[in-house]
Amino acid sequence: MLKILSWNIQQGGGSRYLKILQSIEIEKPHILVFSEYRNNKTGELIKKDLLNKGYIHQIFPEISKQKNTVLLASKVPFAGSVFPQCDSAYAHSIVKAEFDSFELYGCYLPHKKKHQLIPFLRNEIQNSEKPSILVGDLNVGINGVDQKGNSFWYQDELHALLESGISDAFRLVHKDIREYSWYSHQGNGYRYDHSYVQDVLESTVKDCYYLHSYREQKYADHSPMVLVLG
């Protein structure tokens, strides 16, 4: 079994970073993706601790220390890529790890900002020679399903992605269940965090679930998501 954990760690983790790292020790994923990672002093401590935990293969875009980006760390070796051409304003929002049998995109897409990242990802996946997996905080979802209201942007782009041979791994396992990964101060739930797999990988999805206890204990304001392949 291969366990992939993705998590928006909220503004780089801050003083919560030790709790975040303790949870990684408990969950023991083979691969992890941190969104809202920041390459600052706390980020350096996170990377060093992950190295000591065996996550010796790491990739992240080199940007300003105050900007939220993505860290992908793995115990399994990979060939890494960043995409300065993906969007002029948000080139730091996507990283890729190419493994022997699949490619993994780790993402942190901006919230309610104009960008071209979803069409970029769809094009990348369609032109890849290996099947793809996409995880992270995408800040999108299906209106009326992944939230009660209709405030999600990029519905057309998301539907185009899902219709291009990409499946929602959470829905493969849990069907129409309503579950959310982030809550507003008013108590409204949103499923911002996702794990998508190319259709050819559907049979390998053994489980996909959220770890809400870490959000409820305020380790971060998003629930981590776990994808299990086998």
Give, for all 230 residues of the chain, the pLDDT tens digit.
999 999 999 999 999 999 999 999 999 999 999 999 999 999 999 999 999 999 999 999 988 888 999 999 999 999 999 999 999 899 999 999 999 999 999 999 999 999 999 999 999 999 999 999 999 999 999 999 999 999 999 999 999 999 999 999 999 999 999 999 999 999 999 999 999 999 999 999 999 999 999 999 999 999 999 999 99
Widest CA span in the chain: 45
Enter the tokens of residue 10.
């909220």
Look at residue 5 and give its three-state secondary structure.
strand
Q: How many CB atoms lie within 10 A of CB 85?
A: 8
List the beta bridge partners of residue 193. 137
DSSP 139-194: S---BTTTBSS---S-HHHHHHHHTTTEEEHHHHHHTT----SEE-TT--EE--EE
C-alpha dist (Å) from residue 91 to 114, 132, 171: 13, 20, 29
Look at residue 210 and give its three-state secondary structure.
strand
Enter the tokens of residue 192.
């911002």
pTM above 0.95, yes or no: yes
CB 24 within 8 A of CB 32: yes
